[in-house]
Amino acid sequence: MSNYLGFLDALAKFSYILPTVKKPSRKLSLYRRLGITGLVLVLYLIMADTPLYGVPYTSQSQISLFQILFAANTGTLMELGIGPIVTGGLILQILVGAKLIDLDLSDVDDRRKFTEAQKTLSFLFGIFEALAYVLASRYWPYVGNPITGSQASWAIRIGVLLQLTFATYLVMVFDEMLQKGWGIGSAISLFILAGVAKTMFWDLFGYTPQYAQQIGLIPYIVQATEANNLTSIVVRQGLPDVVGLLATIIAIIGLVYLQGMRVEIPVTSQKYGGIRSKIPLQFLYVTNIPILLVGIIVSDFQLFANAFASISGTQNLGYRILYELSYYLSPPRGLYSATADLTKLFIFIISWVVLSVLFGYMWVEIAGLGPKEQADRLIKGELDIPGVRRNPKFFEKMLAKYIYPLTVLSSLIVAFIAIVADIFGAYGSGTGILLAVGIINQYYMMIARERALEAYPLLKRIMGE
């Protein structure tokens, strides 16, 4: 444990070398923070459409799961997206949750150390991923060893490495700005939401006249109306259709309804003379974390398969294994794709359900959401459960009756929504819809809270702000 803690200290100290964003001297108004948040979003969209200098342009026919999860865009400054930041934060969260690093994230100093170490680790991952892309000659043809046989000169390759590293650092700065009070929420969540919204917009209205293709549903409806062939808009092979639009709407409505559901545990407060109250547990207890983790695993298979193909071609064993894994675990894109290979569909459904439940359970234990941690919080908050002896073990046993069934049930529900949405070709993918709805809900609650604090200044004093 001490070795890991020493490693964390080293990462935290290195973060002082990197330029940082200071908190504003006084709290900004809500509308000013919303304006800065909007500016950050616009800058991200510009970066996501700015091609890397020295990289040949390649058109994309379909957005991959990797791009949706990591807010990435191939061949642009956002090639890596938020991948390095998510990876660095996830690794540290797992180490702390598994008690391999002894940190109390409720403590101010420990939380600061964790944040500084995460910043350094994310930056190092950005350099590592950018270096891997360049050395594997991802963007250029090569003959023989890609390290020495790439078609691009070393000057261009180093230039691309610097561009990707700088873009990763800018994303880190944007996230730090918003979280330190210059904006609202997190840039990571904001960029994911923007990527999903952009994909949905393209699925509806996308049109590429230079290739004479009607990609989006609306342009295709216009074309089908002129050709008197409206039946073709119901189901399309590999392209957005009416079935996918309906699946998108139903998935969004279902998620909004489920996120409003709560399971309430009755408690009494010793501090306030035995006043009865209730602690609400979200019905979707694991939120979208299990599907996010499954999506990351599948995206990594795709990423490493492409890396093997770039380095040693498509005939080596490593590439074939990774390709088969990514093929069978990747979600289908609509009814045509789902019914074209029933074996793949069956493996996809079973694997996503099983992995979702496993990751949901793992996350509850690692993130401090298990019965033991929740029981400790009740004890520290001087709360009692009526009819249960005031003892951590008894509280833990009681809470386990709520938390573990909720964990399994919510993991199954989010997996079911993501799977069904992908089978019917929902716009932005099932995983993207899960993430987008969750992020919108978070922003709604944050903005509602900020408006309440501005409307009723007395609340600021009560909440110590």
Residue range 429-446, pLDDT digits in tens: 888 899 999 899 888 888
Is residue 461 very low, low, confident or very high in pLDDT (cuts 50, 70, 90)? low
Given 188, 212, 227, the domain boundary residue is 188
Query: What average pLDDT does range 180-194 have in this prediction?
Result: 89
Query: What average pLDDT does range 51-76 have in this prediction?
Result: 76
Q: Is the pLDDT assigned to residue 421 strictly greater than 90? A: yes
My answer on whether 366 and 256 are in the same domain is yes
More confident position, 228 or 37: 37
Q: Classify residue 229: in a domain, yes or no.
A: no
* CA 171/CA 187 separation, integer angstroms: 8
- Give the count of domains, the chain: 2
Given 188, 218, 250, the domain boundary residue is 188
Query: Collapsing DSSP states into helix, strand and coil, what is residue 451?
Result: helix
The answer to whether residues 35 and 136 touch, using CB atoms and an 8 Å cutoff, is: no
My answer on whether 400 and 287 are in the same domain is yes
Say which residues have a Cβ less than 8 Å from residue 214's Cβ, sequence separation at least 6.
Answer: 207, 220, 222, 223
How confident is the model at residue 181, as a pLDDT? 86
How confident is the model at residue 254, as a pLDDT? 92
My answer on whether 432 and 356 are in the same domain is yes
Domain that holds residue 136: 1-188
Q: Which of these ranges, 3-7, 211-215, 234-238, 421-425, has the smallest mean pLDDT?
A: 211-215
Q: Is the pLDDT assigned to residue 165 strictly greater than 70? A: yes
Q: Is the pLDDT assigned to residue 13 strictly greater than 60? A: yes
Q: Classify residue 212: in a domain, yes or no.
A: no
My answer on whether 15 and 153 are in the same domain is yes
Q: Classify residue 147: in a domain, yes or no.
A: yes
Q: What does pTM read for this prediction?
A: 0.84
Q: Is the pLDDT assigned to residue 362 strictly greater than 60? A: yes
Q: Classify residue 202: in a domain, yes or no.
A: no
My answer on whether 163 and 275 are in the same domain is no
My answer on whether 353 and 436 are in the same domain is yes
My answer on whether 163 and 293 are in the same domain is no
* CA 431/CA 296 separation, integer angstroms: 11
Average pLDDT, the chain: 82
Q: Is the pLDDT assigned to residue 163 strictly greater than 90? A: yes
Say which residues have a Cβ less than 8 Å from residue 340's Cβ, sequence separation at least 6.
Answer: none
The answer to whether residues 299 and 293 touch, using CB atoms and an 8 Å cutoff, is: no
Is residue 209 very low, low, confident or very high in pLDDT (cuts 50, 70, 90)? low
Could you give the percent of the chain with pLDDT greater than 70?
Answer: 85
My answer on whether 2 and 140 are in the same domain is yes
- φ/ψ of residue 332, rounded to 5: -70, 165
More confident position, 118 or 104: 118
Query: Collapsing DSSP states into helix, strand and coil, what is residue 105?
Result: coil
Q: Is the pLDDT assigned to residue 148 strictly greater than 70? A: no
Is residue 1 very low, low, confident or very high in pLDDT (cuts 50, 70, 90)? very low
* Tokens of residue 163, six digits: 């561009």
Query: What average pLDDT does range 19-42 have in this prediction?
Result: 89
How confident is the model at residue 39, as a pLDDT? 94
The answer to whether residues 297 and 389 touch, using CB atoms and an 8 Å cutoff, is: no
Query: What average pLDDT does range 108-120 have in this prediction?
Result: 83
My answer on whether 156 and 280 are in the same domain is no
Write the DSSP string, 315-344: SSHHHHHHHHHHHHHSPP-SHHHHHH-HHH
Cα dihedral 155, 161, 166, 171 sign? positive
Query: What average pLDDT does range 102-120 have in this prediction?
Result: 79
My answer on whether 131 and 249 are in the same domain is no
Q: Classify residue 378: in a domain, yes or no.
A: yes
Q: Is the pLDDT assigned to residue 68 strictly greater than 50? A: yes
Query: What average pLDDT does range 171-185 have in this prediction?
Result: 90
Given 148, 173, 188, the domain boundary residue is 188
Q: Classify residue 216: in a domain, yes or no.
A: no
CATH number of the domain to which 62 belongs? 1.10.3370.10
My answer on whether 254 and 376 are in the same domain is yes
My answer on whether 159 and 281 are in the same domain is no
Cα–Cα separations (whole angstroms), residue 355 to 26, 296, 329, 361:
45, 12, 11, 10
Q: At what angle do helices 242-259 and 217-226 cross, to 10 degrees?
A: 150
Q: Classify residue 19: in a domain, yes or no.
A: yes
Q: Classify residue 163: in a domain, yes or no.
A: yes
Query: Collapsing DSSP states into helix, strand and coil, what is residue 422?
Result: helix
